[in-house]
């Protein structure tokens, strides 16, 4: 059976790795010159603790899927925890957030009890830890370690640098790790180096043909057509075009968003946890997110319309088209880059916003290239976070992940479909194969090249606490 995957973002690349490991031949089309170079992903939502507004069912799904993601891509993970704080002016009760995080800790413990390989987020009893004001004040008296060795040590830099009087208590520390998108891209490219991938190739049309599909694509100014028996739509926020060409109706939202990169070269002495200051999305009190990278670089989100979000940044599909239409200026920014004035202005706003909670961070300097893009959300609910795949008939799969951790549930469902079609032996069911670790030096060097080619500092491609092949965390 000839299978085409259109789109080499994290969804398309991962399903290609997954199916090839089971012996299934796939052809991947990607219009860019590299894989996984679309919107960013810096946070592994291993429990959805960043989203007080989603229900526990979605949070548990994000937890399970994130564990699988870490097992599939261990070398793309930055193993540092996330501190979660509620500012005093935000109407959220941190005690409730703590109770909900304990439900996740219990679920994580149950998963580990069933299968010890699920223990990728540390000890279940350390999944969530709470700190009151006095405890954080005591931590201020301790020296800040260069590389924290335990959970208390991770909170020392937080205790010393955050404006503690602006917070409600308890403050939580959860084992939601970081994802390094440049390393993820490098890993996918290395794992797929022998695969049939048409880089720099844009699929421009698709038609039903003899029970399958005729794809038309353009490469180097020439047009080609090819027949496939099974089609996987992994085109991210542009998935609606393929739906339209084939006459499939699907409602979805598309949201344009951005995070910003600031440099604080004076802050390279020690490691920080990721820090979240909860807020109300879309208002001037939106959540602030501070994500450390190597080399004194920090990725910043502010869930306000003048920082991460945009007044006209959400588009909906319509009766006549499954493709939501964003204002053309955002498509231009995605394809050609941002106007530098806007990028610098918004980065400066992000620095100011985060410095409300981390006062010394106001000394940070903006860098020119935001991390940004548009993401699709199936249906009409903008707060949906866990979604995977949908099908039209037996031969068309539509990847519709909202968070990158959903890729394995998505690939499992596609595998199931292929088994039903007889393209794979039923014994392959549940036969997910986790890739073997790659040489760190190869990932490092390709990830740096990718970061540079995309206009980001090479230092951002490094992780501080690399994966050890023994399965343990490994400190440099």
Ligand X SMILES: Cc1cc2nc3c(=O)[nH]c(=O)nc-3n(C[C@H](O)[C@H](O)[C@H](O)COP(=O)(O)OP(=O)(O)OC[C@H]3O[C@@H](n4cnc5c(N)ncnc54)[C@H](O)[C@@H]3O)c2cc1C
Question: What does the binding site for ligand X look like in residue numbers (CB under 6 A)?
Answer: 6-12, 29-32, 38-43, 45, 202-203, 234-238, 257-259, 372-373, 375, 399, 401-405
User: How do beta strands 274-277 and 82-85 pair?
Assistant: parallel
Least distance to ligand X, CB of residue 13, Å: 7
* Cis peptide upstream of residue 120 (ω within 30 degrees of 0): no
Q: What is the rounded distance in angstroms from the CA atom of residue 206 to the CA atom of residue 130? A: 53
Least distance to ligand X, CB of residue 355, Å: 20
- CB 170, CB 99: distance < 8 Å: no
Least distance to ligand X, CB of residue 24, Å: 19
* Orientation of helix 181-191 relative to helix 440-453, angle to 10°: 120
- Reduced to 3 states (helix: H, G, I; strand: E, B; else coil), residue 260 is strand
- CB nearer to ligand X: pick between 200 and 439: 200
The conformation of residue 368, written as its DSSP 8-state character, comes to S
Length of the chain: 476
Least distance to ligand X, CB of residue 195, Å: 15
Beta bridge partners of 208: 213
Phi, psi at 337, each rounded to 5° = 100, 165
Phi, psi at 450, each rounded to 5° = -65, -45
- CB nearer to ligand X: pick between 130 and 348: 348
User: How do beta strands 3-6 and 26-29 pair?
Assistant: parallel
Q: What is the rounded distance in angstroms from the CA atom of residue 89 to the CA atom of residue 86? A: 8
Look up residue 36 and give its two tokens: 């996984």
* Cis peptide upstream of residue 101 (ω within 30 degrees of 0): no
Which residue's C-beta sits nearest to ligand X?
9
- CB nearer to ligand X: pick between 170 and 292: 292
Buried b (16+ CB within 10 A) or exposed e, 179-198: bbbbbbbbbbbbbbeebebb
- CB nearer to ligand X: pick between 41 and 418: 41
**In 10 A of CB 101, how many CB atoms?**
24
Least distance to ligand X, CB of residue 12, Å: 6
Least distance to ligand X, CB of residue 439, Å: 25
* Orientation of helix 407-420 relative to helix 56-72, angle to 10°: 80
Least distance to ligand X, CB of residue 42, Å: 4
Least distance to ligand X, CB of residue 248, Å: 15
- CB nearer to ligand X: pick between 51 and 169: 51
- CB nearer to ligand X: pick between 170 and 302: 302
- CB nearer to ligand X: pick between 59 and 257: 257
- CB nearer to ligand X: pick between 16 and 139: 16
Least distance to ligand X, CB of residue 88, Å: 26
- CB nearer to ligand X: pick between 131 and 237: 237
What secondary structure does DSSP assign to 321-343, as a single string? -SS----HHHHHHHHH---HHHH
């Amino acid at each position: 059976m000839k299978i085409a995957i259109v789109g080499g973002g994290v969804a398309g690349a991962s399903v290609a790795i997954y199916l090839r490991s089971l012996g299934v031949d796939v052809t991947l089309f990607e219009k860019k010159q590299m894989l996984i170079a679309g919107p960013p992903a810096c946070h592994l939502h291993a429990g959805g603790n960043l989203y007080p507004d989603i229900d526990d069912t979605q949070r548990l799904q994000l937890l399970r899927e994130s564990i699988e993601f870490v097992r599939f891509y261990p070398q793309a993970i930055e193993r540092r925890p996330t501190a979660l704080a509620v500012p005093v002016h935000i109407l959220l009760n941190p005690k409730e957030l703590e109770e909900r995080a304990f439900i996740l800790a219990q679920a994580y413990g149950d998963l580990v009890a069933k299968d010890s390989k699920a223990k990728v987020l540390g000890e279940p009893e350390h999944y969530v830890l709470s700190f009151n004001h006095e405890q954080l004040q005591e931590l201020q008296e301790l020296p800040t370690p260069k590389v924290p060795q335990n959970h208390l040590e991770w909170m020392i830099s937080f205790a010393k640098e955050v404006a503690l009087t602006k917070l409600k208590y308890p403050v939580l520390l959860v084992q939601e790790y970081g994802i390094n998108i440049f390393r993820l891209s490098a890993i996918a490219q290395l794992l797929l180096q022998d695969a049939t991938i048409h880089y720099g190739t844009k699929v421009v049309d698709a038609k039903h043909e003899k029970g399958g599909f005729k794809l038309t694509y353009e490469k180097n100014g020439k047009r080609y057509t090819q027949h496939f028996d099974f089609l996987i739509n992994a085109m991210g926020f542009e998935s609606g075009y393929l739906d339209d060409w084939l006459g499939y109706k699907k409602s979805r939202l598309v949201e344009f968003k951005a995070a910003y990169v600031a440099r604080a070269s004076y802050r390279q002495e020690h490691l920080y946890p990721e820090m979240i200051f909860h807020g109300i999305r879309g208002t001037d009190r939106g959540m602030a997110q501070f994500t450390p990278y190597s080399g004194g670089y920090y990725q910043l989100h502010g869930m306000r319309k003048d920082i991460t979000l945009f007044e006209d940044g959400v588009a909906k599909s319509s009766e006549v088209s499954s493709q939501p239409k964003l204002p053309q200026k955002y498509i231009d920014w995605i394809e050609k880059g941002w106007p530098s004035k806007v990028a610098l202005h918004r980065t400066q706003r992000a620095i100011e916003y985060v410095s409300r909670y981390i006062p010394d961070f106001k000394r940070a300097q903006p860098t020119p290239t935001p991390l940004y893009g548009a993401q699709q959300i199936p249906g009409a609910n903008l707060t949906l976070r866990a979604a995977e795949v949908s099908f039209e008939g037996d031969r068309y799969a539509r990847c519709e992940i909202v968070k990158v951790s959903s890729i394995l549930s998505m690939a499992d469902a596609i595998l199931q479909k292929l088994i039903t079609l007889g393209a794979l032996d039923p014994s392959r069911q549940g036969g997910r194969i986790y890739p073997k670790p790659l040489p760190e030096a190869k990932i490092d060097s390709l990830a740096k090249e990718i970061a540079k080619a995309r206009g980001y500092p090479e230092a951002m491609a490094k992780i501080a606490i690399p994966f050890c092949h023994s399965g343990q965390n490994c400190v440099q």
